Structure 1
């Protein structure tokens, strides 16, 4: 007959140090990031929404609560509608062109050698440059008497296009410049995805008789799904907040708001027109659009990752 001793009292006591340690770790590591998020993101958003419900103007001493008047004015504002349409065009170009060209360039550079390493650095250089620097360079190149038109004239083109002075193509020129600067980012992300594809999968597909196109379609492309998601979301955000390039290259012209986007209209309305409340309403609408489109794009692309 064996006699078992009763469990010790110390074993029955719940440990109080674990919750305290968890709280201490949160305060040490999580609290600074949370405070930064609250101070730099959440609080400004709340202040902007609050300001959008007023007629705030720095030239007026008193600020009145106007409710949804600013939003109702946005519905009938032709300038805002034009800015929204310009933003959609810029977003379409900036999302599609760097993604397609970036994938092609990444496939060409997915090789070993000093030459390919140097070319990767060349393609990525515009990404780390300031948007203002890139805009100044391209503005000098695309003016009516710039280097691009000079080369076209020397090639026999008597009337080269006004890349920045023609209202029908100025917006596409600015969008192409933004897409050019973001090309290197897409190349790097796709290169990382290509180098993460196991060679064994390509070898197995080749043994099954798949050609180069078949191996890309059934092996490489599904493995690049996370890279497509990253590039698409980043390009969406970049296109919606495009301001620097437009300010430096065209200043919203030529003409009246030909190349003005929502972000550009927010800044000019607030600091040139002194309508802080109306600009806050525009920025709130832009925030809602960016959040909704980003969430939809993430859900669609992540569902695609699972299906593949």
Structure 2
């Protein structure tokens, strides 16, 4: 027990200092009117939390976050599985392609966003190519309020798809070849083998990728900040994380921003636990 405590103590102390203590401080601030430039700080109880219900900006940010999370979860999982199945072969070319698809995952979200911004702005690379092809009025990928949110979602999904590819590849390579051979002998075609062999055996990989994609979508911030700064227009692409930062550091309403952060934490935890529970039941049934 003593040895365990000695080895676990450094990690636990770091986790306590960098995770649990900040969560506790944020939760405490959420019950106050904390504003560093307008002291003193007073206890307001649940006023901040109840105010969020009628806050149009917060509700818009919540809805945007849900849309982004849904798109990111679907695109990364569907695209990641499709790419993984294409790369589930031997050879130096496929090994190189696996590395290529994983590169965006290790890059900073800010770097990825800056690269995509140069491509997607109105006079960027994409629209320049579209004009060369004869399109006189190409879409405003980041300037059109009807497109901006989906563009940001695409950038987030593009960066995260490599992670899903790696997890699905590991799952595919862990499926015994004998199962595919037995199914083929029984007369199952490619689609039947995928449905009755591959898909059930990938249940753990689906669980990991889905939960990670949900969490990644809910905490989207960097891409929004770099690509659109919450626009175009008021709150068009604002997310919960973006709204928390804007309220705390631009508006100096730390108490109110803390209440947003607490709600965000509860939502992420609840969605993750529910998704994990449902997907783990599928693992057992598979």
Distance 1:113 1:123 in 2: 16
Q: Which residue of 2 aligns with 1:269?
A: 247
Shift of 1:110: 0.5
Q: Which of 93, 96, 111 is equivalent to 1:118?
A: 96
Q: TM-score, normalised by structure 2?
A: 0.98
Cα deviation digits, residues 52-110 of structure 1 (max 9, x gap): 00000010231000001101110100000000000000000110001001100100010
In the alignment, is residue 99 of structure 1 matched against residue 77 of structure 2? yes
Distance 2:249 2:18 in 1: 21
Q: TM-score, normalised by structure 1?
A: 0.92
**Local SS of the residue matching 1:291:** helix
Q: How does 1:1-308 map to 2 (within 5 A)?
A: 22=1, 24-308=2-286
Decide which moves more: 29-38 or 102-111.
29-38
Cα deviation digits, residues 176-228 of structure 1 (max 9, x gap): 00000001111111000000000111111111111111111111111100000
Cα deviation digits, residues 106-163 of structure 1 (max 9, x gap): 0001011111111111111111111111000100100111110111111121111100
Distance 1:144 1:61 in 2: 44
**Local SS of the residue matching 1:57:** coil
Shift of 1:28: 1.4
Q: For structure 2, which runs of at least 5 residues remain unmatched after alignment?
A: none
Count how many residue pairs are aligned between Structure 1 and Structure 2: 286
Q: For structure 1, which runs of at least 5 residues remain unmatched after alignment?
A: 1-21
RMSD between aligned alpha carbons?
0.8
Distance 2:39 2:45 in 1: 19
Shift of 1:39: 1.5
**Largest Rg, 1 or 2:** 1
Shift of 1:253: 0.6
